[in-house]
Structure 1
Amino acid sequence: MKKTYYLFNPGRLSRKDNTLKFTPVDENGVEGSPKYIPIEGVSDFFCFGSLDANSALYNFLGKAGIAVHFFDYYEHYTGSFAPKEYLLAGKMQIEQTKRYIDRKKRLEIAKKFVSGAAFNMTKNLRYYINRDKDLTPVLETIEQYAQHIDNTSAIDELMGIEGNIRQAYYTAFDGIISTGFQMENRSKRPPQNEINAMISFGNMLCYTLCLSQIYHTQLNPTISFLHEPGYRRYSLALDIAEIFKPVLVDRLIFRLLNKKEIQARDFDHQVNSCLLKEPGRKTFVKAWEERINETFRHPVLKRHVSYKHLVKLECYKLTKHILGMEEYKPFKARW
């Protein structure tokens, strides 16, 4: 089974026959012991440290269908090397573009993303309400906002409702997390405290997961419906990630903090910023990989699938909707 490799240390990636060789390099330029990675077992790379590689290496990765995702010092996603888009089809691109241009059809799909995300947020809240957390006022606020989703007539209006729902949802984090960390306000670029740092890091992983799964379908990742398509941005991944962030990212944050798997020592506090240190990132990534590879019995397919595969299934459902084969219904967690 292919797996994702996370490169936290700076180093050099090269080809050694039909194997990949990664040589870590410290801040003084001293090379460490190389590690050899069989290319057959690689799904993609996440690079958080500087990576030294040449065009021959990227040609090798491209032929093997391996993507490389890059992140800056603040853990922001900056871009990807993606192999040739061998699954892109002209008919799909035309139909996807037509759905985007048609204001009514675009809004129809965008509403699905927001309603799916809102439902999954309320599912998280109900879980903790059933465990004696006083979150009912937040739940009621979100449900009131969600009632207006179907009546929106413009993307900007829908984005405003989505923003209000998420803002209300984040106020519940302090009631869910019981280890003394405070959410305060949602802050980005850079995050201002520990919970914001974990949300930003987790959302970035979710976005990149969605991008990776879109790549394995005929969908064009640059043509989106809820978020505005932009230059150098795979905005469809942002759309799909909205549905899965409550299920994959937020639940993981609650677990890691409440079980003290990540603690105060795992954060690096700078002036006006807070980031996960390398040990904290490794703990988060390990739990993330366990989460997305966890399997459950799919109620429709009647077989076990992983959460990672569930994201791909979501892309397939969207594909069928765009081609007029089947109405798109967003994933809504039932557990």
Structure 2
Amino acid sequence: MGNPLILNGYGIKITVDNGRLVIKNGNRSSEEKPESYYLQPNQKKITSILIYGQTGYISLEAFKWISLQNIQLNIFNWDGSLLSSVNQEKENNGKRKIAQYETYLDEDKRLGIAKNLIKAKITNSIKILDSLPFPVIETHLIVPYLNEVDNAKDIPELMGYEATAAKIYWKEFMKAIPEKWGFVERSGRESSDYTNTMLNYGYALLEAECLRIINTVGLDPCIGFLHEMRNEKRSLAYDLQEIFRGEIDVVVYKLLSKGYRVPKTDFLRMNNYSLRLREGGTDKLSKAYETRMSERIEYEGKLIPRRKVIERKGFELAEYVEGRRENINFLY
């Protein structure tokens, strides 16, 4: 997402005045005066707006301004899940979408893509565990399930291997998280421990990134190859997200383990005992995410930001479903 503007608190306001986008951040306390921002057209300092705020409004003219300037607007729920992502589709390629639908209906091709996704996810999980400085972590326990992926006869069987590998991964990853954070297993939304809460917020940032790339390459985010289609699901975004989830795990590990840069005061316990991140926590997590995604890694002989690797994989998938690429490989 590049350089994000993070908005928190109550009373957020986004309007347009004299051709400028006028943004008022939310009030976090009665004493604090919220910041204001003024963006000129074609000003490239802000590439995305992340809204974690509780109340406020965006004018219709502001939506138009944001769309014309190709700024991604992401709105998050209190638990960190992505409620909405507004980004302009760069390539409205009808033929590409038709090719995507045809590939989805081809059971062999769909299973082949799904296998490659899971191979990449498990391989990356092994790399993440190997990178953690804890000798008690037993990475080798996951390897047999990576070897079983090619033997899967259908997607349910494939998902079974992935689920078992993930269960082992989290058991080993847990060894690297200090006990004070109460991480005993991976849970979903409305988590009650600090680690899962941060993971949920981080995965939502990654989901928004994947949606932007899917729109950029002109694919349909609702038609995935691993995750089933449902009315409320962004299945293809979840597919692409699987490859890079480990990057979020590293971000959370560093925030919780390197001097405890996220204190417990950055969390708020809700009435149902689940946790949410306060403004300071979302700021720290979003900035750590940007740092990770901006780091350059080697890909096909070149050093490029991790974010660009996600884009490359999106383009490669688009080329594969169109028949312009003979094979698909999500490893990086």
TM-score, L = length of structure 2? 0.90
Matches within 5 A, 1:1-335: 3-10=3-10, 11-26=12-27, 32=34, 34-39=36-41, 40-41=43-44, 42-49=46-53, 50-83=55-88, 85-128=89-132, 131-136=133-138, 139-178=139-178, 180-246=180-246, 248-259=247-258, 260-270=260-270, 271-298=272-299, 300=300, 302-326=301-325, 327-332=327-332
Task: Indicate how the Cα distance of structure 1 residues 18 and 287 shifts in structure 2: closer, same or farther if over 3 A, else same.
Answer: same
How far apart, CA to CA, are the structure 2 residues paired with 1:109 and 1:272?
39
1:27 deviates by: 7.7
Could you list the structure 1 runs, at least 4 aligned residues long, displaced by more than 6 angstroms after superposition: 27-31
Contact conserved, 2:177 with 2:253, CA < 8 A, in 1? yes
How far apart, CA to CA, are the structure 1 residues paired with 2:50 and 2:125?
28
1:32 deviates by: 4.3
- The CA deviation string for residues 164-186 of structure 1, in whole angstroms up to 9 with x for no partner, is 21111111122112463232122
Task: Indicate how the Cα distance of structure 1 residues 167 and 216 shifts in structure 2: closer, same or farther if over 3 A, else same.
Answer: same
Moved more, 199-208 or 229-238: 229-238
Contact conserved, 1:179 with 1:258, CA < 8 A, in 2? no
Moved more, 158-167 or 25-34: 25-34
TM-align CA RMSD:
2.2
Q: Larger relative CO (CA 8 A, sep 6+): 1 or 2?
A: 2
Letter in 1 for 2:84: G
How far apart, CA to CA, are the structure 2 residues paired with 1:2 and 1:72?
21
TM-score, L = length of structure 1? 0.89
Task: Indicate how the Cα distance of structure 1 residues 127 and 65 shifts in structure 2: closer, same or farther if over 3 A, else same.
Answer: closer
Task: Indicate how the Cα distance of structure 1 residues 21 and 175 shifts in structure 2: closer, same or farther if over 3 A, else same.
Answer: same
Q: Which structure 1 residue ranges, 5 or more long, are not aligned?
A: none
- The CA deviation string for residues 251-287 of structure 1, in whole angstroms up to 9 with x for no partner, is 1111111112123332223343122222111111111
1:297 deviates by: 3.6
Contact conserved, 1:70 with 1:77, CA < 8 A, in 2? yes
How far apart, CA to CA, are the structure 2 residues paired with 1:12 and 1:229?
35
Contact conserved, 1:210 with 1:311, CA < 8 A, in 2? yes
Moved more, 262-271 or 48-57: 262-271
Letter in 2 for 1:133: P
1:78 deviates by: 1.2
Contact conserved, 1:179 with 1:257, CA < 8 A, in 2? no
How far apart, CA to CA, are the structure 2 residues paired with 1:8 and 1:228?
33
1:127 deviates by: 2.2
Task: Indicate how the Cα distance of structure 1 residues 276 and 322 shifts in structure 2: closer, same or farther if over 3 A, else same.
Answer: same
Task: Indicate how the Cα distance of structure 1 residues 297 and 147 shifts in structure 2: closer, same or farther if over 3 A, else same.
Answer: closer
- The CA deviation string for residues 109-133 of structure 1, in whole angstroms up to 9 with x for no partner, is 01111110000000112223xx442
1:14 deviates by: 0.8
Q: Which structure 2 residue ranges, 5 or more long, are not aligned?
A: none
Contact conserved, 1:152 with 1:158, CA < 8 A, in 2? yes
How far apart, CA to CA, are the structure 2 residues paired with 1:222 and 1:208?
14
